[in-house]
Structure 1
Amino acid sequence: MNTMIPATKSLLTIAGSQNKEERQQYLTFMLSGEPYAISILSIKEILQYSQLTEVPRMPDFIRGVINLRGVVVPVIDLSARFGKQLTHVGRRNCIIIVEVAVGEEIQNVGVMVDVVNAVLEIPAHEIEPAPSFGSNIRADFIAGMGKINDKLVIILNIQHVLSMDDIEVLAGVASTSELVTVI
């Protein structure tokens, strides 16, 4: 059975807890009415949506940048990244700051979502592998399909969602923004 952990509990506390059963914790959230999840091991923090600084000539899914305690962090719209419409900005939107590997460095990237739901523990036996959609459709961004209360949630492989090409673009956005800030 899946265990719901209160959202007020520290993500670091949750990540540090040890279970004898092989379980992993996932942050669940909604995108365009569909449930998704990301392993909490990739998540640095969750922010309430605030004003972004738009950067000209970026792909639609890059919504802009934020200043996170003196560090410029690019923010992508996951819904737009998946080929859907841009996320409508409302009071429940959140930006999830994730850490992704770029070569030997770690890059912080914000991902904009409709709403954050909860942190859930999902036993390994309740996670199915990503389905095969055929040779012309990429599904490498799906780490698995988690079963939660007889419903499926798509567990994202955030490293693949933010592919190396995208990370290079995002890193360029952060560098350009830092130059603009200094000037």
Structure 2
Amino acid sequence: MEFVKNEELQLVIFRLAAEEYGLPITKVQEINRLTPITKLPQTPVFMEGVINLRGRIIPVIDLRKRFKLAVEQYTDDTRIIVVDFNGQTIGVIVDAVTEVVRLATANVEPAPANSVLDARYIQGVGKMDNRLIILLDVDQIFTNQEEFALTQMNG
């Protein structure tokens, strides 16, 4: 994704393991505390199941598992970020949501080409004070096959 120079991004910042990540606020529908998740059989390992969100059944994924990070117990800070993923609604479990910030596009660098993370879902790295924020492209987090599975779950 190309960033327009001299613009600002509004980002929801969340923590996953020791790193900070950002999602464009335009992709975030809401942020909720962890609620009971109904497990579904024969789903990818990172798929936690589904939740009932005010009468809508939405799939929920654990971003730690998706990124192959060490799995830890959920805490009081654990949140489900409800996002728009290619036109459908999904929940994403993160360790904690920390803040909403404005970041000038001039402070965003392209993702390093030799990144250990699969670079297709990293839009760039934002520099803010002494912090680095990994900017995610939520529409690229899943393979086509995984996206099809999510579509099936979303009805």
TM-score, normalising length: structure 1: 0.77
TM-superposition CA deviations, 1:82-128 (whole Å, max 9, x none):
01133421111100011011xxxx11010000000000100010000
* 1:78 aligned residue: 63
| 1: CA distance, partners of 2:95 / 2:43 | 21
Q: Report matched runs for 1:23-62 at 5 Å.
A: 23-62=8-47
What amino acid is aligned across from residue 130 of structure 2 in structure 1?
A: D
Match of 2:105 among 116, 124, 134: 124
TM-superposition CA deviations, 1:26-54 (whole Å, max 9, x none):
00000112111111111111111111001
| 2: CA distance, partners of 1:171 / 1:150 | 39
| 2: CA distance, partners of 1:122 / 1:165 | 33
- Are the aligned partners of 1:61 and 1:76 in contact in 2 as well (CA < 8 Å)? yes
- Are the aligned partners of 1:87 and 1:113 in contact in 2 as well (CA < 8 Å)? no
Q: Report matched runs for 1:152-167 at 5 Å.
A: 152-167=132-147
* 1:115 aligned residue: 96
| 2: CA distance, partners of 1:79 / 1:139 | 16
Q: Report matched runs for 1:94-105 at 5 Å.
A: 94-101=79-86
RMSD: 1.7
| 1: CA distance, partners of 2:141 / 2:73 | 21
What amino acid is aligned across from residue 107 of structure 2 in structure 1?
A: E
Identity %: 33
| 2: CA distance, partners of 1:73 / 1:167 | 13
Q: Secondary structure at the match of 2:88?
A: strand
The verdict on how the C-alpha distance between 1:118 and 1:82 changes in structure 2, with shifts beyond 3 A counting, is same
Aligned length: 150
The verdict on how the C-alpha distance between 1:164 and 1:87 changes in structure 2, with shifts beyond 3 A counting, is farther
* 2:51 aligned residue: 66
Structure 2 residues without counterparts, runs of 5 or longer: 1-5
| 1: CA distance, partners of 2:70 / 2:44 | 13
- Are the aligned partners of 2:88 and 2:154 in contact in 1 as well (CA < 8 Å)? no
More helix by share: 1
Structure 1 residues without counterparts, runs of 5 or longer: 1-20, 176-183
